[in-house]
């Protein structure tokens, strides 16, 4: 059974070193979080599974990793300078600033039990607040020397469209995938790592012939639901498709389907899959009037490139349409944790917390435990087993002797370690160990020589 409240997960994350509030010793910095020793492994595993599925296992995908700081014209022509805003209201009494469309999730600064407005404080009319972080670049403070921290990784792909096309010789359809940090100056960050100011995205911009866009859009929706289910372990019934209504579509979108996950806080977006049409490549092109762009774009006076594709069949330069699956890494991590979190009552009436993560996602794959830590031969054997597991392949394996064996098992259950290997006196005689399964708690006795393939076959 999954987590019933976000607090259960937050507590485990802090206590066991998955996720800590950012800058905590200085009172924090709202909307920032730090991934601890276990969190960084979980997050990296998720990113690798995504890269594997979307880049390595396909024949039509390239990867990229572009800068967070970009020339500010990128954000002028992408439309973000004008439209990447949230409506904000001020309270004239408590001086708080709140997101006008999310007032029921906000708290009065003077009386946190009440919502803004309900407390009697008078609210201003909503006005637009741009969510991009701005910074000065270079030593000269002239009006042109600024940049924004990117609010999405997508634009790094669009502005490199020709670079990728020329260097890889790709034919349509093909995609470019990117994983990286983005930044949004949220008015009211909330719900742990769900809505934060610094976060990580996994995005694909998939370039297609106009006219094939709707069908390919549908394919990606299904393929990405499959990924969340088969690779990350979310239950299919905990994912829903939300058809974003026409009136709520982003300025670039022809159609967007959000994948909603059933978090303890309710159904919330974990990935958005949008048909961005020819808006982006069209927006960033020079000589737009010659390109037959269908989307409504700002006239571009600064780009030095036409972001087009030469179609050998028709002998024409065309502006490809774009399908964009855009997922949040942090939201994915939170969903995986919520789904995996389980409190079980055992036979003897004990309870245990167990994180039933997919083995490939688990931060630690194997814990090697000595039955007696005062027996040097057992300790040495256990440490050697740990070393040999790591030498054979890239995985996090640990040695732990800091408690009695039952307690060590519980500790590993709680952080999702799929296998515990125990080294005992029999090991010294016949080179076998017991291997314990996290979920069933059953133990098997196997030869040390078979250990690596036993583990690898199951992760």
Residues between 162 and 181 that touch its own copies (CB under 8 A) = 162-164, 167-169, 176, 181
**Residues 10-29 contacting its own copies, CB under 8 A:** 14-17, 20, 22-29
For residue 207, which of 107, 130, 151, 276 has the smallest C-alpha distance?
Answer: 276
Query: Quick one: CA dihedral 285, 288, 294, 298, positive or negative?
Result: positive
Asked whether 412 and 367 are in contact (CB, 8 A), the reply is yes
Note whether 311 binds its own copies by CB under 8 A. no
Note whether 88 binds its own copies by CB under 8 A. yes
Residue in the block written with tokens 């020709």: 162
Stretch that binds its own copies, among 68-76, 210-218, 252-260, 315-323 (CB under 8 A): 68-76
Residues with Cβ within 8 Å of 218's Cβ and at least 6 positions away in sequence, in order, are none
Note whether 140 binds its own copies by CB under 8 A. yes
In angstroms, the first-to-last Cα distance of the chain is 22
Residue 427 CB, shortest distance to its own copies, in Å, is: 19
CB nearer to its own copies: give 200 or 271.
Answer: 200
CB nearer to its own copies: give 116 or 213.
Answer: 116
- Residues in contact with its own copies, shown as a per-residue x/- string from 240 to 259 under the rule CB under 8 A: --------------------
**Residues 355-384 contacting its own copies, CB under 8 A:** 383
Identified binder of its own copies from the candidate list 30, 93, 384, 388, rule CB under 8 A? 30
Note whether 85 binds its own copies by CB under 8 A. no
For residue 156, which of 262, 69, 46 has the smallest C-alpha distance?
Answer: 69
Note whether 156 binds its own copies by CB under 8 A. yes
Q: Which parts of 204-316 fold into alpha helices (H)?
A: 213-230, 279-283
Note whether 190 binds its own copies by CB under 8 A. no
Tokens of 318: 């065309």
Residue in the block written with tokens 């039955």: 371
Note whether 404 binds its own copies by CB under 8 A. no
Note whether 452 binds its own copies by CB under 8 A. no
Give the DSSP letter of residue 122: P
Residue in the block written with tokens 């276990």: 38
Note whether 450 binds its own copies by CB under 8 A. no
The C-alpha atoms of residue 13 and residue 355 are separated, in whole angstroms, by 11
**Residues 382-401 contacting its own copies, CB under 8 A:** 383, 386-387, 390-391, 394-397, 399
Give bridge partners of residue 19 from the DSSP assignment: 35
């Amino acid at each position: 059974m999954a987590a019933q409240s976000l607090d259960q997960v937050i507590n485990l994350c802090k206590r066991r070193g998955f996720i800590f509030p950012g800058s905590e010793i200085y009172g924090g910095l709202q909307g920032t979080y730090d991934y601890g020793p276990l969190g960084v492994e979980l997050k990296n595993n998720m990113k690798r599974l995504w890269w594997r599925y979307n880049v390595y296992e396909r024949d039509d995908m390239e990867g990229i990793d572009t800068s967070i700081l970009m020339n500010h014209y990128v954000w002028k022509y992408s439309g973000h300078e004008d439209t990447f805003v949230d409506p904000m209201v001020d309270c004239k009494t408590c001086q708080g600033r709140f997101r006008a469309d999310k007032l029921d999730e906000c708290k009065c600064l003077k009386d946190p039990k009440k919502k803004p407005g309900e407390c009697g404080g008078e609210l201003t009319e909503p006005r637009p607040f741009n969510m991009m972080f701005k910074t000065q670049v270079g030593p000269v403070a002239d009006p042109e020397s600024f940049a924004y921290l990117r609010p999405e990784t997508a634009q790094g792909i669009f502005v490199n469209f020709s670079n990728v096309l020329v260097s890889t010789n790709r034919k349509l359809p093909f995609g470019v995938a990117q994983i990286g940090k983005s930044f949004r100056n949220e008015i009211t960050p909330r719900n742990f790592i769900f809505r934060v100011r610094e976060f990580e995205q996994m995005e694909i911009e998939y370039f297609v012939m106009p006219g094939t866009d709707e069908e390919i859009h549908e394919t990606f929706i299904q393929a990405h639901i499959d990924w969340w289910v088969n690779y990350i372990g979310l239950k299919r019934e905990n994912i829903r498709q939300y058809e974003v209504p026409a009136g709520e579509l982003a300025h670039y979108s022809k159609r967007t389907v959000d994948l909603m996950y059933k978090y303890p806080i309710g159904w919330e977006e974990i990935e958005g899959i949008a048909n961005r049409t020819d808006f982006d490549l069209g927006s960033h092109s020079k000589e737009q009037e010659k390109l037959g762009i269908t989307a409504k774009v700002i006239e571009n006076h600064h780009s030095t490139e036409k972001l087009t594709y030469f179609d050998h069949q028709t002998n024409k330069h065309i502006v490809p349409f774009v399908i964009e699956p855009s997922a949040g890494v942090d939201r994915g991590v939170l969903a995986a944790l919520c789904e995996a979190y389980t409190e079980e009552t055992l036979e003897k009436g004990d309870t245990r917390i167990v994180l039933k993560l997919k083995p490939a996602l688990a931060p630690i794959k194997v814990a090697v435990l000595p039955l007696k830590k005062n027996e040097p031969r057992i300790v040495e054997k256990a440490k050697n087993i740990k070393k040999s597991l790591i030498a054979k392949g890239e995985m996090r394996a640990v040695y732990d002797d800091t408690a009695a064996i039952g307690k060590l098992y519980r500790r590993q259950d709680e952080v999702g370690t799929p296998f515990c290997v125990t080294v005992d006196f029999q090991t010294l005689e016949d080179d076998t160990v017991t291997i314990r399964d996290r979920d069933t708690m059953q133990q098997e006795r196997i030869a040390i020589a078979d250990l690596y393939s036993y583990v690898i076959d199951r992760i």
